[in-house]
C-alpha cells in the first residue's frame, strides 16, 4: 500500500487560530504507523522531487527518534495537479486537506484499493489520531 502525504493543513495546522503552525494531535503515532507502508510526500514542499524542504520542516515537529522515519518518505514530482504523481497501478491512500475540483475529477477513476482521505484539522483536530486507529 502506498501512502501519499500532504503537510500543511494535514500534518501541521495552517488555520489562523491559536493552533497555527503546531503539529496535529497524534502526529508522532501517525508517523510510526506509516512504517509498514511505501510512503511518499505529495506536497508543494517537494513537488520538484527533492525531499529536503519537507524533511527539514517535519523534523522540527518530531523527536529525533523519528527523523529516520521522515528520511525514508519519498518525494514525488508533479507540476499542476497532485494527481499527476499518484501511482495508478497500485493501491494507495492519499491524505490531504485541500483537494482541488480538477483533482476530484481525476480521482473519479480510483479503483478498489485507491482512495483519498480529506483531512480537516480545523473541524476535527484529532483526525490523525482517528486515522491512525481506524485506517493505518
Q: What is the mean pLDDT of residues 86-91?
A: 97
Q: What is the mean pLDDT of residues 100-115?
A: 96
Contacts of 67 (CB under 8 A, 6+ apart): 59
Q: What is the mean pLDDT of residues 37-58?
A: 96
Which residue range(s) make up the domain with 86? 2-134
Return the pLDDT at 110: 95
Mean of pLDDT over the chain: 96
Residue 69 to residues 34, 36, 37, 79, 95: CA-CA distances in angstroms?
8, 11, 11, 26, 17
Q: Looking at the predicted structure, is the pLDDT value of residue 75 above 90?
A: yes
Q: Looking at the predicted structure, is the pLDDT value of residue 17 above 90?
A: no
Count of the separate structural domains present in the chain: 1
pTM for this prediction: 0.95
Return the pLDDT at 53: 96
Q: Looking at the predicted structure, is the pLDDT value of residue 29 above 90?
A: yes
Do 3 and 37 touch, CB atoms closer than 8 A?
A: yes
- 18 pLDDT band (50/70/90 cuts)? confident
For residue 69, give the CATH number of its domain: 3.40.50
* Cβ neighbours around 133 below 10 Å, total: 12
Amino acid at each position: 500500500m502506498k501512502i501519499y502525504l500532504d503537510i500543511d493543513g494535514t500534518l501541521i495546522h495552517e488555520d489562523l487560530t491559536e493552533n497555527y503552525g503546531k503539529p496535529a494531535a497524534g502526529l508522532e503515532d501517525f508517523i510510526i504507523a506509516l512504517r509498514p507502508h511505501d510512503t511518499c510526500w505529495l506536497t508543494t514542499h517537494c513537488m520538484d522531487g527533492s525531499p529536503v524542504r519537507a524533511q527539514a520542516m517535519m523534523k522540527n515537529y518530531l523527536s529525533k527518534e523519528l527523523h529516520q522515519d521522515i528520511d525514508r518518505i519519498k518525494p514525488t514530482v508533479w507540476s499542476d495537479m497532485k494527481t499527476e504523481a499518484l501511482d495508478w497501478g497500485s493501491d494507495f491512500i492519499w491524505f490531504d486537506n485541500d483537494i482541488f475540483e480538477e483533482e476530484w475529477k481525476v480521482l473519479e477513476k480510483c479503483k478498489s484499493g485507491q482512495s483519498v482521505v480529506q483531512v480537516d484539522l480545523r473541524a476535527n483536530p484529532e483526525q490523525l489520531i482517528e486515522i491512525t486507529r481506524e485506517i493505518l
